[in-house]
Amino acid sequence: MFNSKKTLIAAAVVTAVSGSLLLTGCSDSGSADWKKMIEANDGKYLDGAVVKAILGEDDRARLVKKFDPSNPYSFEVDDAIDGGAHGNMQCKVPEAFVDVHANVKQNYYDDASYKAYGYGTPIAEAALKNWKIHVDGDGQGLPPLDVGMTVEKGANMYIQFCSVCHGEFGEGAKGYLPLAEGDPLPLATSDMNAPAPVKTVGNYWPYATTLYDYNRRAMPFWTPNMPAIGEAGYMGITGYILQMNAVKLDDAGTTIEDEDFFNAEMLMKANKYMRNAGNFFCDHRPVIANERCMKDCPDYMVGDGTGNTKDYRTAGRLPDGTPQYNVEQRIEVSPPGVGHHGF
Amino acid sequence: MTDKVVEKVAIQTEESRNQGRRAFLKGSAAVAGGVLFTQAASASPAMKFDAKKAVAPYSGREEITDVMPDSMSRKMLGWGVRQYPYGMPSPFEKDVQRRTLEWLTPDSMASITMTPLQSLHGMITPNGLHFERYHGGGININPKDHRLVIHGLVERPLIFTMDDLKRFPSESRILFAECPANGAMEWKGVQLNSVQWTHGMMSCVEWTGVRLSTLLKEAGIKPEGKWLIPEGADASGMARSVPIELAMDDCMIAYAQNGEALRPEQGYPIRLVVPGCEANMWVKHLRRIQVSNVPLQHREETSKYTELMPDGTVQNMSWYMEANSVITYPSPDFKMQGPGRYVAKGIAWSGRGKVDHVDITFDGGRNWHEAKLTSAVLPKAWTRFELEFDWDGSELLMMSRTTDETGYVQPGMPQMREIEGTNNVYHRTAMVTWKIHAHNSPQGGMIENVQF
């Protein structure tokens, strides 16, 4: 089974202690050879044989090696290895995507001759005060420390403006998803028949900054960026949502209390203790590198992956046994099955 | 008109099912042994066209002998010019619509419609059928009031009017826009029987606009500017983080689609175009681009649009849409009209470049046959493919598999599910399987979405 980041974090701890680099095994095959291999294969940098030659034999080995930022197929940068817990996670376009980098060079780095057309109008940053609603993963863009309110006041704000859709305790309402965990289903599951896990701020969101950014940017859904809430109100609401998710503020496990004045400083403390932060990793695709087989293909490419073409899943059927079809009166309107819970 | 003509292709209706049955009762000859290929190309080039031989398949078929009535359109004048100052499709095409599944979202302002791929031809989606995805509802913005500002880590923050933007060198590119949730409902099995539902969260149009790299250089982007944060002027203030490599590779600020101004549904008056990447990054109603040293970590790149793996870890910043393909005919909206010769048709695309090959299997993946590419083959655009085959009426399991110019071969669903689990939601880019029910089975000739 796919198991990457958790194992890797454990591995990183061990290797850090022993003083060696994370996944040093990559450097032998990830050296200058890869450019030649890709070139020799007509630039086909995702060809199964090329990927295999550069990264190793099986899918799992390939996958693990991709978490090394020096690997040509890695989307990771050094920052990303720690996930969000210790900073703002970044990813990059892998070096092996040679055509992208060639274009970037030509369109940007090697364009010494560019001279402005002069069609725009200069504008001062200060003139954009009302437009700059951006708070990033580093906390850039947060309001000054005197902007905020007690978590208790924030809760009142929340009940007034948010609870109609999200429930008083973040349990969700009217089809809108919960914000907080009650008894959430575990995120880790490979059970085909288990319902999809519910993703909440507490068990899924990697950044607390996102919560403030998004609340102020787009909430309440019907009247976003609302003056009646204001920056202080959005800060208070953010504090209450983090409290309902039991987000800690330090290693000692200090919790967010009703009487705490919730401001940017508190938010950035909470940002370091988002429970799921360390579980995010950069895009690792493609993981599957198949051959283009045409005749008598091996079993893993056939049917259910064992060569069996007799067992397959079908959609629900109409009472007369016919499959559902895309005709108005035949569209199934019952709630979705497992595996999906809205966007 | 006449009911004696048996249509070869018909949308699934009671009527077409009956037609199929009639064709069967008339005794179409059954061919034993699965799918046969018409080897037109194998004929010797020296042989001349033989008219009698060519029409042989019609021998024994009932001939229409009733005198064809003249139509009303021959007996009266049509309408004058400018009856429709902006033309619309024929009223008979009224069923070709964007459609949505109401249970997908709690409201229609943060929702999605799907393009009716089963009814489209060629590689261009008509503007009125381009799929919609709103995070805060559709809006009409007056272009006179709209501005685009580029600021942050630049030498000279600049603001542009629409007229300013149109003065810059322009570029037109045919590119697909695909929601990364395309096919999201099918991770644990199939739910729906239409290519509109399985693949309709995407469209392909010609976008015209300014290269983003031009505008960034115009403002004097600084070397420490590694991320762009494009932001929309809609209620959701939609934003994402775009790395500098993607921005300088081939991003555009588009103001036109298929030769006319962007439609409001697609972000009028301007949107970001990130070719080959998740359409969620193609911020609509673009108002502001902040050049930053770090990513935003917006809700739509952390809480949503991230892929949950079976071990509980999460893949994020997954920008590229992988190579993908689907057979649009025969597909579940159609029904086979009895044994005989068919032309399978479909679309293939890749977010990383051109489509190199499309292969079709009829036996669930054991053997494959290369299809012909029948449209222009452009990077990050839909490519049309076709393959002729003779159906003997037995059960088929049809899949299409694309190989793109990077050498990536589209995998099957069991392989993808094994690695990425079933709660991933996004980037379900593995093959789909159409089961053609055997002609003499109770669901004879029906085409059903099944999943291994």
Residues B139-157 have pLDDT tens digits of 999 999 999 999 999 999 9
- Cα–Cα distance measured from residue B161 to residue B288, given in angstroms and rounded to the nearest whole number: 12
The mean pLDDT of B95-123, rounded to a whole number, is 91
CA neighbor of A324 nearest in space, from B328, B197, B243, B132? B197
- A219-232 burial by CB neighbour count: b if 16+ within 10 A, else e? bbbeebbeeebbbb
User: Do A217 and A156 share a domain, yes or no?
Assistant: yes
- Cα–Cα distance measured from residue A29 to residue B210, given in angstroms and rounded to the nearest whole number: 40
Interchain CB contact of A281 with B (< 8 Å): yes
User: Do A269 and A158 share a domain, yes or no?
Assistant: yes
pLDDT at B36 > cutoff 80? no
Strands B340-349 and B314-316: unpaired
Q: Considering CB atoms only, which of B13, B311, B416 is closest to A3?
A: B311
Mutate to test the interface with A, among B212, B329, B363, B366 (most CBs of A within 10 A): B366
Interchain CB contact of B240 with A (< 8 Å): no
Instruction: Please give the pLDDT value at position A188.
Output: 86
User: Do A170 and A78 share a domain, yes or no?
Assistant: no
Instruction: Please give the pLDDT value at position A325.
Output: 54
Interchain CB contact of B113 with A (< 8 Å): no
For chains A and B, CB pairs below 8 A equal 399
User: Do A271 and A182 share a domain, yes or no?
Assistant: yes
Interchain CB contact of A303 with B (< 8 Å): yes
Closest residue of B to A306, CA-based? B414
Instruction: Please give the pLDDT value at position A337.
Output: 33
CB contact under 8 A, A1 and B299: no
Instruction: Please give the pLDDT value at position A9.
Output: 43
For residue A144, what is the DSSP state? Answer: P
Instruction: Please give the pLDDT value at position A10.
Output: 42
Instruction: Please give the pLDDT value at position B44.
Output: 59
- Whether A126 is in a domain gets the answer no
Q: What average pLDDT does chain B have?
A: 90
How far off is chain A from B258, nearest CA to CA, in Å?
A: 25
Interchain CB contact of B441 with A (< 8 Å): no
Kindly report which listed range (B43-57, B223-237, B318-332) carries the lowest average pLDDT score: B43-57
User: Do A158 and A274 share a domain, yes or no?
Assistant: yes
Element (H, E) at A159: helix A151-161
Closest residue of B to A130, CA-based? B288
Instruction: Please give the pLDDT value at position A322.
Output: 61
Residue that finishes a domain, picked among A257, A279, A301 = A279
Closest residue of B to A332, CA-based? B192
Residues 190-219 of A with CB under 8 A from B: 190-193, 196-197, 199, 201, 204-207, 209-210, 213-214, 217-218
Using 50, 70 and 90 to split pLDDT, how confident is the model at B439?
very high
User: Domain range holding A52?
Assistant: 5-109
- Cα–Cα distance measured from residue A71 to residue A76, given in angstroms and rounded to the nearest whole number: 9
CB contact under 8 A, A312 and B415: no
Interchain CB contact of B231 with A (< 8 Å): yes
Domain parsing of chain B, residue ranges: 101-189+202-315, 324-450
Answer positive or negative: Cα dihedral of B296, B300, B302, B303: positive
User: Do A62 and A181 share a domain, yes or no?
Assistant: no
User: Do A162 and A258 share a domain, yes or no?
Assistant: yes
Instruction: Please give the pLDDT value at position A197.
Output: 86
Residues 17-76 of B with CB under 8 A from A: none
Element (H, E) at A281: strand A280-282
Q: Considering CB atoms only, which of A2, A132, A331 is closest to B419?
A: A2
User: Do A94 and A208 share a domain, yes or no?
Assistant: no
Query: What token pair was written down for B288?
Result: 């502001």
How far off is chain B from A233, nearest CA to CA, in Å?
A: 19
Interchain CB contact of A271 with B (< 8 Å): no
Instruction: Please give the pLDDT value at position A17.
Output: 37
Instruction: Please give the pLDDT value at position B399.
Output: 98
Residues 142-201 of B with CB under 8 A from A: 149-151, 156-160, 164-165, 167-168, 181, 184-194, 196-197
Interchain CB contact of B353 with A (< 8 Å): yes
* Domain B101-189+202-315, classified CATH 3.50.50.60, yes or no: no
Residue-by-residue pLDDT tens, chain A, 343 positions: 234 444 444 443 333 333 333 333 444 444 568 999 999 999 999 999 999 999 987 777 888 888 888 999 999 987 665 444 457 889 999 999 999 999 999 999 999 999 999 999 999 999 999 999 999 999 999 999 999 999 999 999 999 999 999 999 999 888 788 899 877 678 888 788 777 888 999 999 999 999 999 999 999 999 999 999 999 999 999 999 999 999 999 999 999 999 999 999 999 999 999 999 889 999 988 889 899 999 999 999 999 999 999 999 988 766 666 665 544 444 433 333 333 333 3
Residues B416-434 have pLDDT tens digits of 999 999 999 999 999 999 9
User: Do A201 and A94 share a domain, yes or no?
Assistant: no
Residues B429 and B447: beta-carbon distance below 8 Å: no
Mutate to test the interface with B, among A312, A320, A322 (most CBs of B within 10 A): A312
How many residues in chain B?
452
- Cα–Cα distance measured from residue B179 to residue B199, given in angstroms and rounded to the nearest whole number: 10
How far off is chain B from A189, nearest CA to CA, in Å?
A: 5
* Domain B324-450, classified CATH 2.70.98.60, yes or no: no
The mean pLDDT of B174-182, rounded to a whole number, is 97
Q: Which residues in chain A have their CB less than 8 angstroms from residue B406's CB? A: 43-47
CATH number at residue A208: 1.10.760.10
- Whether A195 is in a domain gets the answer yes
Residues B47-96 have pLDDT tens digits of 899 999 999 999 999 999 999 999 999 999 999 999 999 999 999 998 89
Instruction: Please give the pLDDT value at position A79.
Output: 67
Instruction: Please give the pLDDT value at position A323.
Output: 60
Residues B340-387 have pLDDT tens digits of 999 999 999 999 999 999 999 999 999 999 999 999 999 999 999 999
User: Do A158 and A74 share a domain, yes or no?
Assistant: no
Kindly report which listed range (A54-68, B130-144, B284-298) carries the lowest average pLDDT score: A54-68
- Whether A244 is in a domain gets the answer yes
Instruction: Please give the pLDDT value at position B106.
Output: 85
Sort A160 into a burial class: Cβ within 10 Å, 0-12 / 13-18 / 19+.
Answer: middle
Q: Considering CB atoms only, which of A123, A187, A209 is closest to B312?
A: A187
The domain total for chain A is: 2
